[in-house]
Chain A
Amino acid sequence: MKCLQWFAIAALASVVGGAWAAEGAEPASGPIKVGCIFSVTGPASNLGAPEKKTAEMLVEKINAAGGVLGRKIQLIVKDSEGTPEKAISFAHQLIDEEGVLAIIGPSTSGESLAIKNICQENKTILLSCAAAEKITDPVAPYVFKVAPKDACAAQWIFQTMKELGIRRIGVLASNDGFGLAGKEQLEKYAPQDHIEIAGSEVYDKATTDLTGALNKIKGQNVQAVVNWSTVPAQALVAKNMKQLGFDVPLFQSHGFANIKYVQAGGAAANGTIFPAGRMLIADLLPEGHPQKRVLMEYKKEYEARYHEDTSTFGGHAYDALTILAEAIRKAGSAAPEKVRDAIENLQGVVGTAGVFNFSKTDHNGIGMAAFEMLTVKDGKFALYKRN
């Protein structure tokens, strides 16, 4: 019993002490603490793992160059395994115990929305790496995001369709957060682009056959099909369409931006049209492109260090850290409110996803310009050229 009492007192003391330390955070010297919540393992590990690797690589580089305002950046990385519950408890831990200036991540939209209010209430800057529009709409003063919006991807697709004279389409989406949110955006923007969604189907993310659903859509006499998902079914749609002799253009979401799906689709993936960030086609960008230098530099360093291809996701972590460091420099201090103000005033910061221009009302900083329409040619990504 006695033992338990001591334990309770010790636990209490550590909590109080921790809170105290947080209260007294903001020393003008010593390292600047930055928290990261990434889904390094679990179902979203293809997002979180490159984000963690990128953040660690970039912080090392910044510190080697003398840090920010003469102070080093100390990174504290937590693995949320893609679950909102863990993201919430890590957010509390990073804010209360570590007293971090800012949190980078989480990797997924669900997690980001789960900790949006926690960061806002505790006046800790959040730089989310997820896609959902709701993260920065409505705007919370301390919450920002660096990944492009799905609404822009949908608008890019429709714009391309208009150029091709496509008026009547079928939509397929996976039955998960990404797929359903994308379908919602397509349905929202279709009327204003005078495009009619003649048929739409939602499939299980583990599906192994889509010929039935595609046959139904084919019967609607559509001029194109849009598929919105991140799962392997992206390759299946392409294959099944060819097998059905369903010969209309296939559009996919930015979820297709992974060369593995092209490989899985084989010859059937050729001709797929989709919007994506410029990370995948860094080599193909013209010399004068504003993002060329940043993209090539990141690609070279990452691939030399980790021996794997870069992805747009690792790029989000790169952008978040770059923006944060730039804002601290501009603010001339690591006080949360000053850094927050500085982020809101940042203009023309070149990142991997695009050129960021923040404002009081736009906490995402990149819009339509974040995407480029790509296609698949002979099993490789290529810029889509309008005829």
Chain B
Amino acid sequence: MPTDQIVQYCFSGITVGSIYAIVAIGFNIIYNTTGVINFAQGEFVVLGAMTAITLAARMPLALAVGLAALITALIGALVELLFIRPAKQPTVLRLIIITIGVSILLRETALHVWDEKVHALPFFTGTEVSSVTLLGAHVSPQVLWVLGACALIVAGLSLFFKFTLPGRAMRACAANRTAAQLCGIKVRWMVTASFMLSAGVGALAGCVISPVTQTQYDMGAPLAIKGFTVAILGGLGNSVAAVAAGLLLGLLEAFSISLFPLAYQDVVAIVVLLAVLCFRPSGLFGRRDAHAFGEF
């Protein structure tokens, strides 16, 4: 295989991988504060992108993206307040099933608010036809935006969780709910905040990927499956590990195309998921003794 083709596969893998990683980070934020996997995460990505597309027709792109993230964050808060908080006997399994219900609800709502057609945000830099050459490979400038956004989100979240009071409070909830409550942390509101944060991050992801992947009301579920795979692969709850796992899966998928027909691409992802669940349920980067599934 010529070098430039190998580099091209790498870029393909890194792009797809960082998209998976951002979705996985959304999973992790909520998992950390509640122990729940939020299966509506893919829908947050779609809602963010769709809202931005609608707004972009009326205002500058940057403002539209920012507003879309804010609106989606509010929807995330609503989801938590309306469906998660009132749940009687909130066992983890029950809450997960609620999130699946919410994902269907959001998907159908998106179908009615927008339509079944594909939409896309305009390219942040350049157009559909622009391409930059890097190390002999050609990529869309939007791909650089995706990589940049992924790096920024990871860095921002790390700082937020390490150095800010709300961030540390959220981490405290994750470490020990009762102890956190005894310290005066309002655990319930931290859960709401985690839904907002993860919806906002999902929306941002949806906006940066929209020009390259296009957005349709039902693309949330496949994204959520890949994001979930990556979150498990890296070890649930660990955002830096999610990025590493995302890039790994993306590269694996990209190079699998060079060997097998494209139709088997998803098989690779699912086989990886099954193998990790069977042999290393705490994830590649999780500690073996950590109980990866918390309250499952």
Interfacial residues, chain A to chain B (CB-CB below 8 A): 175, 201-204, 206, 208-209, 211-213, 215-216, 218-219, 232, 235-236, 238-239, 242-246, 260, 264-268
User: Is the Cβ of A201 less than 8 Å from the Cβ of B262?
Assistant: yes
Residues of B within 8 A of A211 (CB): 8, 11-12, 15
Nearest-CB residue, chain B, relative to A245: B138
A201 to B262, CA, bound (A): 6
Q: Taking the complex as formed, is B128 at the interface, i.e. its CB lies under 8 A from any CB of chain A? A: yes
Closest 4 CB pairs of A and B: A208-B213, A245-B138, A268-B128, A243-B140
Contact of A202 among B209, B253, B261 (CB under 8 A): B261
User: Is the Cβ of A206 less than 8 Å from the Cβ of B12?
Assistant: no
User: Is the Cβ of B214 less than 8 Å from the Cβ of A235?
Assistant: yes
User: Is the Cβ of A264 less than 8 Å from the Cβ of B1?
Assistant: no
Size category of the binding interface on chain B: 35 or more
Offer 13 A-B interface pairs, CB within 8 angstroms, sorted by A: A202-B261, A203-B263, A206-B222, A208-B213, A212-B13, A212-B262, A213-B262, A232-B216, A235-B214, A239-B128, A242-B129, A266-B128, A268-B128
Residues of A within 8 A of B209 (CB): 208
A204 to B267, CA, bound (A): 12
Q: Taking the complex as formed, is B212 at the interface, i.e. its CB lies under 8 A from any CB of chain A? A: yes
Contact of B8 among A215, A239, A242 (CB under 8 A): A215
Contact of A204 among B16, B120, B213, B266 (CB under 8 A): B266
Contact of B218 among A175, A206, A209, A235 (CB under 8 A): A206
Residues of A within 8 A of B218 (CB): 206
What's the least CB distance linking A103 to chain B, in Å?
A: 27
Nearest-CB residue, chain A, relative to B256: A212
User: Is the Cβ of A209 less than 8 Å from the Cβ of B131?
Assistant: no
User: Given contacts A202-B262, A245-B138, are A208 and B257 in contact (CB under 8 A)?
Assistant: no
Residues of B within 8 A of A267 (CB): 127-129
Residues of A within 8 A of B117 (CB): 232, 260
Contact of B258 among A208, A216, A232 (CB under 8 A): A216
* CB contacts between A and B, total, < 8 Å: 100
Residues of A within 8 A of B5 (CB): 215, 218-219
Contact of B212 among A204, A209, A264, A266 (CB under 8 A): A209
User: Is the Cβ of A243 less than 8 Å from the Cβ of B214?
Assistant: no
A353 to B128, CA, bound (A): 33
User: Is the Cβ of A203 less than 8 Å from the Cβ of B127?
Assistant: no
Q: Taking the complex as formed, is B254 at the interface, i.e. its CB lies under 8 A from any CB of chain A? A: yes
Residues of A within 8 A of B8 (CB): 211, 215, 218, 244
User: Is the Cβ of A206 less than 8 Å from the Cβ of B219?
Assistant: yes
Contact of B253 among A175, A204, A212, A219 (CB under 8 A): A212
A97 to B212, CA, bound (A): 52
Residues of A within 8 A of B262 (CB): 201-203, 212-213, 216
Enumerate B1-32 residues with CB–CB distance to A below 8 Å. 1-2, 5, 8-9, 11-13, 15-16
Residues of A within 8 A of B265 (CB): 212
Residues of B within 8 A of A212 (CB): 9, 12-13, 253-254, 257-258, 262, 265
Q: Taking the complex as formed, is B139 at the interface, i.e. its CB lies under 8 A from any CB of chain A? A: yes
Residues of B within 8 A of A236 (CB): 213-214
Residues of A within 8 A of B131 (CB): 242-245
A212 to B33, CA, bound (A): 37
Q: Taking the complex as formed, is B118 at the interface, i.e. its CB lies under 8 A from any CB of chain A? A: yes
What's the least CB distance linking B207 to chain A, in Å?
A: 15
User: Is the Cβ of A243 less than 8 Å from the Cβ of B138?
Assistant: yes
A216 to B2, CA, bound (A): 11
A352 to B214, CA, bound (A): 33
User: Given contacts A211-B12, A266-B127, A267-B127, are A232 and B257 in contact (CB under 8 A)?
Assistant: no
What's the least CB distance linking A246 to chain B, in Å?
A: 8
Residues of B within 8 A of A244 (CB): 8, 131, 138
Enumerate B167-185 residues with CB–CB distance to A below 8 Å. none
A358 to B119, CA, bound (A): 42
What's the least CB distance linking A254 to chain B, in Å?
A: 19
Nearest-CB residue, chain B, relative to A211: B12
What's the least CB distance linking B141 to chain A, in Å?
A: 9
Residues of A within 8 A of B143 (CB): 243
What's the least CB distance linking B93 to chain A, in Å?
A: 28
Nearest-CB residue, chain A, relative to B5: A219
Q: Taking the complex as formed, is B133 at the interface, i.e. its CB lies under 8 A from any CB of chain A? A: yes
Residues of B within 8 A of A245 (CB): 131, 133, 138
User: Is the Cβ of B12 less than 8 Å from the Cβ of A209?
Assistant: yes
User: Is the Cβ of A209 less than 8 Å from the Cβ of B16?
Assistant: yes
What's the least CB distance linking B230 to chain A, in Å?
A: 15
What's the least CB distance linking A226 to chain B, in Å?
A: 15
User: Is the Cβ of B118 less than 8 Å from the Cβ of A175?
Assistant: no
User: Is the Cβ of A243 less than 8 Å from the Cβ of B139?
Assistant: yes
User: Given contacts A213-B262, A215-B5, A243-B139, are A208 and B214 in contact (CB under 8 A)?
Assistant: yes
A242 to B130, CA, bound (A): 7
- Residue interface mask B195-223, A partner, CB < 8 A = 1: 00000000000000100111010110010
What's the least CB distance linking A42 to chain B, in Å?
A: 11
The residue in A215, A242, A264 that gathers the most chain B C-beta atoms within 10 A of its C-beta is A215
User: Is the Cβ of B261 less than 8 Å from the Cβ of A264?
Assistant: no
User: Is the Cβ of A235 less than 8 Å from the Cβ of B257?
Assistant: no
Nearest-CB residue, chain B, relative to A234: B118
User: Is the Cβ of B128 less than 8 Å from the Cβ of A242?
Assistant: yes
User: Given contacts A203-B263, A244-B138, A264-B120, are A209 and B128 in contact (CB under 8 A)?
Assistant: no
A265 to B118, CA, bound (A): 10
A108 to B8, CA, bound (A): 39
A213 to B124, CA, bound (A): 25
What's the least CB distance linking B221 to chain A, in Å?
A: 9
Nearest-CB residue, chain B, relative to A43: B116
Nearest-CB residue, chain A, relative to B266: A204
What's the least CB distance linking A235 to chain B, in Å?
A: 7
A94 to B261, CA, bound (A): 45
What's the least CB distance linking A12 to chain B, in Å?
A: 41
User: Is the Cβ of A268 less than 8 Å from the Cβ of B129?
Assistant: yes
What's the least CB distance linking B8 to chain A, in Å?
A: 5
A246 to B5, CA, bound (A): 12
A189 to B293, CA, bound (A): 55
Given A212-B12, A264-B120, output 10 extra A-B contacts at Cβ < 8 Å: A209-B213, A211-B8, A211-B11, A216-B258, A218-B8, A232-B117, A235-B214, A243-B138, A244-B131, A265-B128
